[in-house]
Amino acid sequence: MNYQIYRQNVNKPVKGYTGQKGDQGQKGDQSENIFFAWSEIRQNIVDIKKFQHITFERSIDQTEWKKNQEKQFVVPSDGLYTLTYNVDLRTKEQSESSILLTKNGNYIPGSSTLIDGSNVISNSLVCNLSKNDNISLLFWTNNSLSHVGDPTFLNGVLPNGTIPPETVASILFSKIK
């Protein structure tokens, strides 16, 4: 019996009291929540004893993120971020290579990765960043013949007849909170 009563009331509109509209919440700035940059150029090793900056000549420009003269990304706001990055390290001989991130010139714990030989090195980490922190992606190798990427190896032709450029390095900043 209760089932039938419930079923009969389902199609009847229920009208209740409507309260006043609440205050409008703050509009978030979506432009600082995500940033992506990449490189399509070969980058040679300068000194096998020192880490060197990865150059990023391409980025999504609709953001609040900036790059300074030292090839560092300037953080637009305080928060917890996920950083995801990769570098295509190539060599013709046996070598050891590494990538890592720095914040204001200091190593970010958990960001370094070491490999033997040629490979794409990828890593992700979560860290707190503050407004105006300077973030850099650096690489090192112990072989002077090693380099980041080699766009001449990508020769596949797309259906439209063009050859796409190789992305030799990339970095993605995603603000979590």
Are 121 and 97 in contact by the 8 Å Cβ rule? The answer is yes
Task: Tell whether 21 is covered by a domain.
Answer: no
The CATH number assigned to the domain holding 88 equals 2.60.120.40
81 or 6: which leads in pLDDT: 81
Are 22 and 165 in contact by the 8 Å Cβ rule? The answer is no
Task: Tell whether 125 is covered by a domain.
Answer: yes
In terms of residue numbers, what domain contains 97?
A: 33-152+165-175
pLDDT in tens, 149-166: 887 778 899 999 998 888
Whole-number pLDDT of residue 81? 95
pLDDT in tens, 70-114: 678 999 999 999 999 999 888 777 888 889 999 999 999 999 888
Whole-number pLDDT of residue 161? 93
- Total domains, the chain: 1
